[in-house]
Structure 1
Amino acid sequence: MTDDSLSWETIDSQTSYTCPGFDVETDDVRLPDGTETTFDYLSEPPAVIVLPFTSDDDVVVIEEWRQAVGRINRGLPVGSVEPDDRSLIAAARRELREETGYEGDEFEQLTTVEPMNGAANSVYHLFVARGCEPTAEQDLDHNESIRVDTTTFEALHDAVANDEIRDGRTVLAVLRYLIADERNP
C-alpha cells in the first residue's frame, strides 16, 4: 500500500533541454508540507540490457568509447526501446543484433529496475539471451564505436568483482543473473 502522505504534487512540467537520447525535465512541485519548488531530472526512453550467451556458453561482450568518462568501457549490449519495437523482447533482439551482429534463440526477462530514480526516470529491462551466434554485420548508430568480443561468464564475473568493469548496467546484469542462478540451481 502506498503512503500518499509522501507524494509530491506536480503543478507544471516542461522540457528544459533536449538532445538525442535524453531530455532534462523541470517540474514545478508542491511537497507534502505545502512548500513549492522545482525538481529537475533526466528523462530517457526505457532500455534493454542483454546478457548474451553463445551456444558454447561464452558471453558476448562489447567495448565502447564512453565520452562522458573519457575511456573505453567493457560491458554488455544496451539500448533504448524504440517506437517500432513490438515488445521488449523484440527490442532486446534488435539491440543485440545491431551492436554485436549476434542473434539469439531464446530470450528470458530477468528483471526490471529503476537504477537512478532519485535523478532520472530511467527504466532498464534485463534479458538473458541463449544460443547466440554471429549472423550479421553490426548496424551501429552514427555515434557508436563498438568492438565485439566473447569471454566466459566466470571471467566477466571476476572482472566485476575486481572492479575492472565499472559499467553499472553490466554490474547489475551479472549480479542479478547470479541471484537468479542461486534461486534455480
Structure 2
Amino acid sequence: MPTDPLAWETLDSRVAYSCPGFVVVNETVQLPDGTETDFDYLSEPASVAVLPFTPADDVVCIEEWRQAVDRVNRGLPVGTTEPDDATLEAAARRELAEETGHEADALEPLVTVEPANGIADSLLHLFVARGCRPTAEQDLDHDESIRVRTAPFDDLLEAVGAGEIRDGRTVLAVTYYRLFVDGDAEK
C-alpha cells in the first residue's frame, strides 16, 4: 500500500499494445479519493544521448529524418539501451559509434532525466564525450537516415535559443551543459 497521500494504488496492469521499441501499458488504478480509473502510459527501455566534442571542441551533430514530425531534425546521437550493453556508458559509446562513426577518448555523465513522466516511464541518461574522432563508418539501424555534421558549441546554443533546434534531448543537453558545466568558464 502506498505511503504518500498523493500516491495512486495500482490494482491491475496489462500490456495493451506492443511493438519494437516500446509497449503501451494499461493500468487500473485507485486515486487518493478512492476513485478507480484507467491510466495508460508508454514503457520503453532507458535511453542515452551524447554531447560529443571533437579535439577542436566542435560538437558532432546528426541530421535525421523524424517521421512523427515529418522533417529532418538536427540533434545529437541518441538511442535506447540494449541487453548487450554492460553499462550506460557502453550504450552511449555504442550509439555514438553507430550513428556517427566516431569514438570518444573520454565519456562522463551529464544528467539523468524523466523526459515525459506524465505519459511514459522513459529515463534519459545524457553524457558528454571528449576527444571524438571518426574511426569507422556509420552502422545505422534499418530505419535510420542520418547525416553527420560538426558545429561549434556556441552555434548549437544559438540555434537552441532561436528555436531552430527543437529536439528536446538536444535542447536539454546543450542548455544543461552551458548552465552547469561550461557556464563557469565565462565568470
Q: TM over 0.5, yes or no?
A: yes
For 1:95, the equivalent position in structure 2 comes to 95
* One-letter amino acid of the structure 1 residue matched with residue 149 of structure 2: D
For 1:76, the equivalent position in structure 2 comes to 76
For 1:24, the equivalent position in structure 2 comes to 24
Unpaired runs of at least 5, structure 1: none
Deviations 1:47-105 (A, max 9, x none): 00100000111000000000000000000000001111010100000000000000001
**What is the alpha-carbon distance in structure 2 between the residues aligned to residue 109 and residue 3 of structure 1?**
32
* One-letter amino acid of the structure 1 residue matched with residue 152 of structure 2: T
For 1:125, the equivalent position in structure 2 comes to 125
**What is the alpha-carbon distance in structure 1 between the residues aligned to residue 113 and residue 72 of structure 2?**
25
For 2:174, the equivalent position in structure 1 comes to 174
Deviations 1:153-177 (A, max 9, x none): 0101010000000100100000110
CA RMSD of aligned residues (A): 1.3
**What is the alpha-carbon distance in structure 2 between the residues aligned to residue 184 and residue 159 of structure 1?**
21
For 2:112, the equivalent position in structure 1 comes to 112
What is the deviation of 1:21? 1.3
For 2:11, the equivalent position in structure 1 comes to 11
Equivalent residue pairs, number: 184
**What is the alpha-carbon distance in structure 1 between the residues aligned to residue 22 and residue 64 of structure 2?**
19
Q: Secondary structure at the match of 1:68?
A: helix
User: Normalising by the residue count of structure 1, what TM-score does the alignment of the two structures yield?
Assistant: 0.96
What is the deviation of 1:181? 2.2
For 2:136, the equivalent position in structure 1 comes to 136
What is the deviation of 1:19? 1.0
**What is the alpha-carbon distance in structure 1 between the residues aligned to residue 19 and residue 148 of structure 2?**
27
* One-letter amino acid of the structure 2 residue matched with residue 134 of structure 1: P
Aligned counterparts, 1:135-174, within 5 A: 135-174=135-174
Q: Secondary structure at the match of 1:37?
A: strand
Q: Secondary structure at the match of 1:139?
A: coil
Deviations 1:107-154 (A, max 9, x none): 010110001101111100000000000001111111100000100001
Unpaired runs of at least 5, structure 2: none
Q: Secondary structure at the match of 1:143?
A: coil
Q: Secondary structure at the match of 1:156?
A: helix
Question: Are 1:50 and 2:50 an aligned pair?
Answer: yes
